[in-house]
Structure 1
Amino acid sequence: MTNSTLTLAERIQAWHQPQSLPAIKGIRRGIERESLRIQPDGQLAQTEHPASLGAAMTHSNITTDFSESQMEFITPVSDSVDILLAQLGDIHGYVMRHLNNEQLWPLSMPCLLKGGDEHIPLAQYGRSNVGRMKTLYRQGLHHRYGSRMQVISGVHFNFSMPDSFWSEWHRQEGGDTLLQDFVSEQYMGLARNVYRFGWLIPYLFGASPALCGSFLNGTKHNLPFERLGKGTLYLPYATSLRLSDLGYTNSAQADLQISLDSLAQYVTSLRNAIGTHEPDFAKIGVKVEGEYRQLNDNVLQIENELYAPIRPKRTADSGEKPTDALSTRGVEYIELRSVDVNPYAAVGIDATQVRLLDTFLLWCLLTPSAPLTNAENALNRRNFNKVVLEGRKPGLELEVFGEESRTLSDLGEHYFTELKAVADLLDACCGKGCYGKAHQAHLAAIKDPAKTLSAKVLTELKAADQDILPFGLALSKRYHDQLLAGRPLYWEDSYFDEEGCRSLARQRKIEQSESVDFDTFLKDYFAKT
């Protein structure tokens, strides 16, 4: 462990030095955007993943998430915001040209869901053991939590600092710590700070204050919903129902204690959850009358089942478990998972948001980060839940660990003062004023909740006394036409044509190389450490 006692201000001052400043340049980002394929009437598409797009299991940029109807678009890692968004736009445009009469739903909370969970088709990945395991994992999620929760969509933001940054910071504060261990230690500190300050993300980027009533379909809940139109439910001050117990933040995992105090503790606690028998899941059965229902009956089937706003990540080799990759080679990047789909951006996120996320995550990285106690963890959860359900409520108070409570606006402005110093650092290095402008735009939303995405959505719905379905369909049609009319900015269609063919060839190769049956494959996979 390093023993640095530098404050945020002292660190920023050190980074402003001419010999250090250039090392910050080259922040690396990747985006994973999820979206549901819909029929013209707004219902979830029941068709298979378009064959013309290639193989979902092996395509570099176009895949599926939980459902066959839930697309996921993945950019390569990029150190340019403009290139990142151009690539994401080109993926969207190519997909639009291959959807026939279908469109993409532009909101995080699902479209019209008629019937039960059986009308949400599980993603299919071919007949290989790996492909069957991916589908079976989703079958387990279906049995454990229901399929509706799984088709909520978001934007995952992958973030890492360049090697030059880590070499310079290690020189400044690393002491005798090995570089790999120093990098992991600082990324874990970032993750802890995201738990502390992460309510800022749903406040600013939450865009799901309302949902189609078909999503609940008789599900019990304790939320005091109000009604709009024929079947839309909303909470007056909500920012992100996606991140509430109704959705992505799964209450079934509320008691799960995954430690972020060090990489070793994180890996150990996650492995324990994967290896711990869960009686409620045992009632589902693993293999019943010759048919699998889930991968296993443990607390988590695999690492991906952990519902968390942020995950430390390391690119895994083929067949390698994520925890093994982390344990062996350390943290490579972090994945922020608490960003709603932006309904006012054709690709679900815009450049101003990306730059604010850069600023926020670098702030979390440079801010001293003590271990999280159980009491502070509980406080952080309370704050987060308050913001997702009533973040725009006038005078809303949030707790501050070891201090008196403060209003969200007061606390937000205090944090934004620190964020301004980080934005200035980024502009001094490489931003040309863009980071300062992004900071100002989002500070305005801290001062005036009416400028948040969630407020904008709800204002439009209420002004027209409109259901969420026609609202979403109108946006869907607008982006469909806009993306079809646009020209590629980075990749021509020929790139995706070729990648589609390559993905099909990769899947065939995997399927043809099978040497064991599925039962043996699963047994071997979970036996590996």
Structure 2
Amino acid sequence: MMSLASERRAYLASHPDLLRNILRGIEKEGLRVDATGALVDTPHPIALGSALTNGHITTDYSESLLELITSPISTPAALIQELTDIHTFVSLRNPGEAIWNQSMPAHLPPEAEIPVAWYGTSNTGMLKHVYRLGLAWRYGKVMQCIAGVHYNFSLPEAAWDGLASGESSKERRNTGYMALIRNFIRHSWLLMYLFGSSPAVSRSFLQHVGLEDQLTRLSPDTYCLPWATSLRMSDLGYKNPTQSDLHLCYNDLDTFTARIHTAVTTPWPAYEAIGTHRDGKRIQLNTNILQIENEYYATIRPKQTAGRCERPNTILRQRGIQYIEVRCMDIDPWAPAGIRIETSRFLDAFLLFCALEDSPLFPPPGTCQESQANFALVAREGRRPGLVLQQDGQPIELRDWARQVLDRIAPYAELLDTHTDDHRHTAALAQQHGKVQDPDNTPSARLLAELRDSGQEFHDWTLAQSQAHWKALRERGLPAGTLAAYDQAARDSIAEQAALEASDKESFEDYVTRFHAALK
């Protein structure tokens, strides 16, 4: 008798168009820095268009924190090509700066001098700006300068007809994506081991956040955790202790969205003490546990594309899950665009594995403490020899479990190799076996080794890498038609922002009220 996973693989093998129409996209963050590696405090460059309305180039928390966004794309090769093209466009139109190609930040100025992202005077733009002001009041600015790579992934709607149960297409899609998320949470520690690239940080960052005594000094300006894979995703990275009590449930979408709804509607005393206005100006959207749904920081999220004044939680309930967003990937400091094509290929096989393998519900109340503990341990100590994790309450060495998972992913890599035009997924998987066999091959170990061997500080090493990438991108250039298209998109976005500002007739306070009322 075939296993459930084998039946599902057979279904996709018999419908190869479904595999060829998988979509993936990337949102890659990166700080703008000057020639010394210091954070720049200049406004978002006008040559890049409007951060509010340019679909490929925006900002995240800070005016200095770029976010470069690809389209949803059907092959890993085209995905990395477009991401590299966007980076190249930025390098050509903003040559005096570079993008800091590392998740842990560059040398930062005093917190008061870190510029919060500005999106213009439209109500939509002001909502984004005030939300970020609220983050600054709640958590400070420094932690939000940590950057990463978000990987978006979706299967065609028709795929779920043969992969998940439910009376309607939407129910099958929701059931399938929530099962994928549960399996991702169980196994995401593996991504930290294989791709975590932030084991070190500059002393100045630790002084900003008061964590200098929690790390080991590697050199005068560089601190690390000796066995860490990702400080960004550890408890030393961007965490919100207020959210630790949310106990979100990934067993079904209704329970998940209900608990998010509670968080965005429940006041929190510390935020009530801050208030919503200072000197007549709004400084946060509300005083609840979460101002908006996006304030919940998770390693993976169910997503649905939101329009103006729409609430993510409401449209998830109404329209269902459209795709998932993987949020735990560090920036690859050796890759000019922050992620390699081999990584994309492996992620596709890994996520297909998560979608098709059996995915039991988490035990009541639907939380996943064991998986979260495994993830946190690997982020801090993933390369420690003999490291033991917990698998369904039983101890297991990381190396043994990693080999088991990679072996289980192999049929999915083969499925993609056989039924798509990209035949390199199995090769990408083989690279990961090498990291499990020898932890020195992991990016976190390689980074620490390069720091030790070169005698460079973390800041200087990362600046040299970033500047070399920036130079290579400028020399790579873009075809004239591609460059012209990005230039036109930038101009169009500026015009679109101006039109949006001119069309707003209601006050910002009324708009905020309407935005909150859209939460159902």
User: What's the TM-score bracket when you normalise by the shorter of the two chains?
Assistant: over 0.9
Q: Structure 1: how far apart are the matches of 2:181 and 2:353?
A: 11
1:53 matched to 2:48? The reply is yes
Residue matched to 1:163: 157
**TM-score, normalised relative to structure 2:** 0.96
**Cα distance 1:419–1:379, how it changes in 2: closer, same or farther (>3 A)?**
same
Q: CA deviation at 1:323?
A: 1.3
Q: Are the equivalent residues in 2 in contact too, given 1:244–1:385 (CA < 8 A)? A: yes
SS at match of 1:318: coil
- What is the aligned counterpart of 1:190 among 180, 204, 216? 180
SS across alignment from 1:121: coil
Other-structure match for 2:206: 216
Q: Distance in 1 between matches of 2:7 and 2:392?
A: 23
CA contact (8 A) 1:90 1:489 kept: no
The AA in structure 2 aligned to 1:144 is R
From the superposition, tell whether residues 151 and 139 of structure 1 become closer, same or farther in structure 2 (CA, over 3 Å). same
Q: Which amino acid is the alignment partner of residue 235 of structure 1?
A: L
Equivalent residue number for residue 264 of structure 1: 254
The CA distance in 1 between the partners of 2:245 and 2:237, in whole Å, is 17
Q: Deviations over 1:184-233 (max 9, x none)?
A: 11101111111111111111111000001111225344964111232111
Query: After superposition, where does 1:68-217 map in structure 2 within 5 Å?
Result: 68-115=63-110, 117-167=111-161, 169=162, 174=165, 177-217=167-207
SS in 1 for 2:468: helix
Query: Equivalents in 1 of 2:480, 2:75: separation in Å?
Result: 12
**2:342 pairs with 1:352:** yes
Deviations 1:253-277 (A, max 9, x none): 2112222111111111111100011
Distance 2:12 2:57 in 1: 38
Q: Are residues 1:393 and 2:384 paired?
A: yes
Partners of 2:313 and 2:40 lie apart in 1 by 35
Cα distance between partner residues in 1 of 2:355 and 2:342: 20
8 Å contact from structure 1 (residues 57, 507) kept in 2: yes
Structure-1 separation of matches of 2:3 and 2:172: 15
Q: Secondary structure of the residue that 1:125 maps to in structure 2? A: coil
Letter of the aligned partner of 1:527 in structure 2?
A
1:234-245 equivalences under 5 Å are 234-245=224-235
Give the CA deviation at 1:376: 6.2
Q: Are 1:7 and 2:4 matched, yes or no?
A: yes
| SS of equivalent residue, structure 1 residue 78 | coil
Task: Give structure 2 stretches of 5+ with no counterpart.
Answer: none
Deviation at 1:22, TM superposition (A): 4.0
**Contact in 1 for aligned 2:303/2:324 (Cα 8 Å):** yes
* TM-score normalised by length of structure 1: 0.94
Q: One-letter code of the match for 1:150?
A: Q
**1:52 Cα deviation from its structure 2 partner:** 1.4
Q: 1:33-67 deviations in whole A, cap 9, x for unaligned? A: 00000011111001111011111100010100000
Q: Give the 4+ runs in structure 1 shifted more than 4 A.
A: none
Give the superposed CA RMSD.
Answer: 1.8
Q: CA deviation at 1:248?
A: 2.9
Mapping of 1:232-381 within 5 angstroms?
232-373=222-363, 377-381=368-372
Residues 77 and 14 of structure 1: is their aligned pair in 2 closer, same or farther, counting only changes over 3 Å? closer
Q: Do the aligned partners of residues 330 and 22 (structure 1) sit closer, same or farther apart at CA in structure 2, a change above 3 Å counting?
A: same
- Contact 1:31/1:74 (8 A) holds in 2: yes
Show structure 1 runs of 5+ residues with no match.
none
Q: Distance in 1 between matches of 2:346 and 2:213?
A: 31
1:26 aligned onto 2:13: no
Q: Distance in 1 between matches of 2:208 and 2:464?
A: 27
For the Cα contact (< 8 Å) 2:12–2:159, is it kept in 1? no
| 1:249–1:308 contact (8 Å) kept in structure 2 | no
Distance 2:15 2:286 in 1: 49
Mean Cα deviation higher: 64-73 or 445-454:
445-454
Q: Structure 1 residues 490, 272: CA separation in 2 closer, same or farther (over 3 Å shift)?
A: farther
Counterpart CA distance in 2 for 1:164 and 1:357 is 21
User: Alignment length, in residue pairs?
Assistant: 517
Aligned-pair identity in percent equals 37
Q: Partner of 2:392: helix, strand, or coil?
A: coil
Distance 2:175 2:21 in 1: 21
**Contact 2:142–2:209 (Cα < 8 Å) also in 1:** no
Equivalent positions of 1:30-41 (< 5 A) are: 30-41=25-36
Q: Structure 1 counterpart of 2:386, which letter?
A: G
User: Secondary structure of the equivalent of 1:312?
Assistant: strand
1:148-187 alpha-carbon deviations (Å, 9 max, x no partner): 11110000000001234234x15xx53x621111011110
Amino acid at match of 1:151: C
Give secondary structure in 2 for the equivalent of 1:217: helix
Confirm or deny that 1:430 pairs with 2:420.
yes
Give me the whole-angstrom Cα distance separating, in 2, the residues matched to 1:355 and 1:431: 12
Deviations, residues 79-135 of structure 1 (Å, cap 9, x unaligned): 0222111111111111111224211101000001132x1121000000111111111
Which amino acid is 2:473 matched to? L
Q: Structure 1 pair 336/218, CA: closer, same or farther in 2 (3 Å)?
A: closer
Change (3 A) 1:258 1:235: same
C-alpha separation in 2, matches of 1:361 and 1:280: 38
Verify: 1:455 aligned to 2:445, yes or no.
yes
